[in-house]
Chains A and B, each alone.
Chain A
């Protein structure tokens, strides 16, 4: 029930590798790591969600605020490698049309 986050910085690109569960308890930790990356000018922010096994609307809130922040700073936000169940939450809420999401792992599970 924990969340671990690590950041890999490259040239004008930051990759955030996230693993665990994103809920009301862990979302603040995600936000704390993600938001500063989105505040850099012309930064490509990629969030790798391959190892995220659970996410609810608290995670959506974090990604919406990150998206807004990237737009304000001429940066981009891309979510990568979502498991089916996590992708479904974006789809039901229509957020998959708003946030750039790439390369879902089909049939991923724990």
Chain B
């Protein structure tokens, strides 16, 4: 079996802990040798996933716990973010994500809902399991080239 180290964090489902996970995230990614740009991408992706869990999963009870697991492999980092709160309607979420269109009228611009879009843009692989609570599994490979899903939309970092 492929060897890996595993680090796990359990945090209250509250916004003030998003930054704590971000710090842990940069510590692990830095130790693994990710570039400055990749570390910044990882910080955003992890924060988005936790923000989703904090805002949607527990909106009814207002309390809960989020588990964050980091699988540290030779060639990649796997991050798992799990909550046991309410599941969300995946199909509905998928329909709502995507970049802005320049000709969209300002009145109809969305004020939220780009979290998942950013996660998918910044990570190499993303899986979402939505049966009991929500589990987001995302991977980023070391020395992978910058995400470039549309040449003129994402500027590769100089």
Contact = CB atoms under 8 A, between A and B. Distances in A.
Interface of A: 1, 21, 23-25, 54, 56-58, 60-61, 64-65, 67-68, 71, 84-85, 88-89, 91-95, 97-98, 107, 109
Given A23-B47, A24-B18, A91 B153 contact: yes
Q: Decide if the interface of chain A is mainly helix, strand, loop or mixed.
A: helix
B154 A60 contact: no
Nearest to B114: A57
Contacts of B15: 23-25
7 contacts: A23-B22, A25-B15, A54-B44, A64-B109, A71-B106, A93-B99, A95-B100
Interface residues of B, number: 40
B121 A92 contact: yes
Contacts of A85: 37, 40
A57 B107 CA distance: 19
